[in-house]
């Protein structure tokens, strides 16, 4: 009975207003993503734009990887009037949301044949505002709840994000099919009202004041004041991280760089693998939408409850083990007779483990930030989390071409072993500190 009560208490975290609010902010964060990537590519191709030109549009994604460069300014700079009215985080969130809506309307109002450059500029603007919103929402989420609730906050965020991906993907396609791409992007722009309303309704979290020791003095020359301000905004967050964690900080950063390696490496070849097995695009889409969506949400919710019940380290280890293990299921699928039932089972296991690992890892990254530099430090962590894995993932096709899918999935599983070892090392060091 005590165990049951503990589990009920762990899952009751999802009834808290701050946790529920993250569903709507997650929707606001996820909506622009596909609209400047695959959905935009489909629109351009549908209008007859050359594939080589469409490929250049993928560079818009670089904006998300370099958000760490302007995160310090989001951490430090108040916005005229808005910050006084809404607070530090909500003011930046609202400004970014309005920028996204405006950019999507700009894309909708552009002719892709005669104004393609304008479409590209609006897409970059939407991506920039979206990345800015991500920085502000991440900081808001971290500062709005204690560490034990961060897993649930992350799970709620993932739920909203996934719903937004469905809206910006399948939803936009349906609207474009019945009406036009212009109407689709206008509707998507109007959907940003979800984030605006959530931003206005949620309470601003408390902030820890940044130490003023390195701030410039009024009598100092301008260049000294400028350099001191830049040091405080850009350098101090990283100095603070290593001051707080010491040499273990390097171990933490290595874990951040490697934790998603197995998952992302495998994900690059997943859809080509399904198609090479002989499954139709409709079968892949149906299984991915039905099992992929709900199992990801279930995994994220379970991860949030595990963090609330057991803390972060043990669920973090479980997530790393599950992700590496499920890659071996793809190896089994590679040597088995194609079966839709087996495909559904493997995709279910993969998305369950991926959802669990994602929510737990987000909670872990959140626990690493200092409340004085939340936005800057989390932006660094999230960039480090994906960039090395994406670079390694680029070689996935070469491995498949030379050694086949069986060897590739075994390799993708082995890539996850360093993360498991690093979690064990950190657990050992944490226990002895």
364, two tokens: 């872990």
| pLDDT interval class at 5 (50, 70, 90) | very low
Q: Please say if the pLDDT value at position 224 is more than 50.
A: yes
172, two tokens: 């936009």
Q: How far apart are CA 219 and CA 61, in angstroms?
A: 43
Work out the average pLDDT over 225-251.
74
Contact between 381 and 259 under an 8 Å Cβ cutoff? The reply is: no
Q: How far apart are CA 125 and CA 63, in angstroms?
A: 9
In the chain, the percentage of residues whose pLDDT exceeds 70 is 83
Q: Which tops the pLDDT comparison, 217 or 187?
A: 187
| pLDDT interval class at 374 (50, 70, 90) | confident
Number of H helices, E strands in the chain: 25, 0
Please report which helix (H) or strand (E) contains residue 388, including its range: helix 374-393
pLDDT tens, 290-309? 677 788 888 888 888 888 78
Q: CATH second-level architecture of 13-201?
A: Up-down Bundle (1.20)
In the chain, the percentage of residues whose pLDDT exceeds 90 is 27
Kindly tell me the burial class for residue 147, based on how many C-beta atoms sit within 10 Å of its own C-beta (0-12, 13-18, 19 or more): middle
Nearest to 170, CA basis, from 150, 180, 159, 184: 184
What integer pLDDT is reported at residue 257 of this predicted model?
Answer: 86
Using the structure block, give the residue that is written with the tokens 């998952």: 263
What integer pLDDT is reported at residue 221 of this predicted model?
Answer: 65
Contact between 382 and 260 under an 8 Å Cβ cutoff? The reply is: no
Q: Please say if the pLDDT value at position 410 is more than 90.
A: yes
Q: How far apart are CA 108 and CA 102, in angstroms?
A: 10
Q: How many alpha carbons fall within 13 Å on the CB side of residue 154?
A: 31
Kindly tell me the burial class for residue 61, based on how many C-beta atoms sit within 10 Å of its own C-beta (0-12, 13-18, 19 or more): middle
9, two tokens: 């208490």
pTM of the shown model: 0.72
Work out the average pLDDT over 122-148.
88
What integer pLDDT is reported at residue 3 of this predicted model?
Answer: 43
Q: Domain ranges in the chain? A: 13-201, 231-431
197, two tokens: 């309303």
Nearest to 191, CA basis, from 120, 129, 105, 90: 105
Nearest to 149, CA basis, from 31, 40, 18: 18
Q: How far apart are CA 416 and CA 321, in angstroms?
A: 8
Mean pLDDT across the chain? 82
Q: How far apart are CA 139 and CA 205, in angstroms?
A: 9
- Domain 231-431 sits in CATH at 1.20.1250.20
What integer pLDDT is reported at residue 18 of this predicted model?
Answer: 76
Worst-scoring range by mean pLDDT, 193-197, 234-238, 254-258?
Answer: 234-238
13-201 and 231-431: same fold? yes
What integer pLDDT is reported at residue 225 of this predicted model?
Answer: 59
Q: Please say if the pLDDT value at position 213 is more than 60.
A: no
Worst-scoring range by mean pLDDT, 138-142, 192-196, 411-415?
Answer: 138-142
Worst-scoring range by mean pLDDT, 107-116, 221-230, 233-242, 354-363?
Answer: 221-230
Work out the average pLDDT over 124-143.
92
What integer pLDDT is reported at residue 182 of this predicted model?
Answer: 95
Q: Which tops the pLDDT comparison, 283 or 394?
A: 283
pLDDT tens, 68-121? 788 888 877 889 899 889 998 899 999 999 999 999 999 999 998 889 999 999
Q: Please say if the pLDDT value at position 227 is more than 70.
A: no
Q: Please say if the pLDDT value at position 232 is more than 80.
A: no
What integer pLDDT is reported at residue 419 of this predicted model?
Answer: 92
DSSP states of 41-87 as a string? HHHHHHTT--HHHHHHGGGGGHHHHTGGGTHHHHHHPPPTTHHHHH-
Using the structure block, give the residue that is written with the tokens 């949620």: 202
pLDDT tens, 380-404? 787 777 777 666 766 777 788 888 8
Work out the average pLDDT over 261-267.
80
């Amino acid at each position: 009975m005590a165990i049951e009560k503990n589990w009920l208490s762990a899952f009751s975290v999802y009834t808290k207003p701050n946790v529920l609010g993250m569903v709507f902010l997650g929707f606001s964060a996820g909506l622009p993503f596909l609209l400047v990537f695959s959905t935009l590519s489909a629109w351009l191709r549908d209008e007859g734009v050359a594939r080589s030109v469409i490929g250049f549009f993928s560079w818009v994604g670089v904006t998300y990887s370099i958000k760490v460069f302007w995160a310090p300014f989001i951490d430090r700079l108040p916005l005229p009037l808005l910050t006084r009215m809404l607070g530090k985080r909500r003011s930046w969130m609202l400004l970014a949301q309005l920028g996204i809506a405006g950019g999507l309307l700009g894309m909708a109002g552009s002719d892709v044949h005669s104004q393609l450059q304008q479409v590209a500029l609006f897409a970059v603007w939407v991506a920039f505002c979206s990345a800015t919103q991500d920085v502000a929402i991440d900081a808001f989420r971290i500062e709005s709840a204690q560490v034990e609730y961060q897993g649930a906050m992350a799970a709620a965020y993932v739920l909203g994000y996934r719903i937004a991906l469905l809206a910006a993907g399948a939803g936009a396609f349906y609207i474009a099919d019945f009406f036009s791409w212009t109407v689709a992007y206008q509707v998507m722009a109007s959907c940003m009202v979800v984030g605006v309303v959530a931003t206005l309704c949620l309470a601003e979290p408390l902030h820890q004041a940044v130490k003023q020791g390195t701030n410039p003095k009024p009598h100092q020359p301008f260049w000294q004041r400028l350099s001191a301000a830049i040091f405080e905004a850009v350098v101090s967050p990283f100095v603070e991280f290593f001051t707080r964690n010491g040499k273990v900080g390097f171990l933490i950063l290595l874990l951040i760089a490697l934790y998603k390696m197995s998952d992302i490496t495998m994900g690059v070849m997943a859809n080509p693998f399904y198609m090479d097995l002989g499954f139709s695009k409709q079968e892949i889409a149906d299984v991915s939408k039905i099992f992929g969506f709900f199992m990801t949400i279930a995994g994220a919710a379970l991860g949030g409850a595990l963090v609330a019940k057991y803390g972060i380290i043990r669920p973090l280890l479980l997530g790393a083990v599950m992700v590496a293990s499920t890659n071996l299921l793809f190896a089994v699928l590679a040597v088995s007779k194609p079966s839709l039932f087996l495909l559904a089972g493997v995709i279910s296991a993969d998305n369950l483990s991926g959802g669990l690992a994602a929510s737990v890892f987000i909670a872990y990254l959140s626990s690493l930030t200092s409340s004085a530099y939340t936005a800057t430090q989390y932006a660094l962590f999230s960039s480090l989390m994906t960039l090395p894995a994406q670079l390694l993932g680029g070689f996935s096709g070469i491995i498949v071409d030379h050694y086949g899918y069986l060897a590739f999935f075994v390799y993708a599983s082995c890539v996850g072993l360093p993360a498991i070892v690093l979690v064990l090392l950190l657990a050992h060091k944490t226990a002895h500190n």
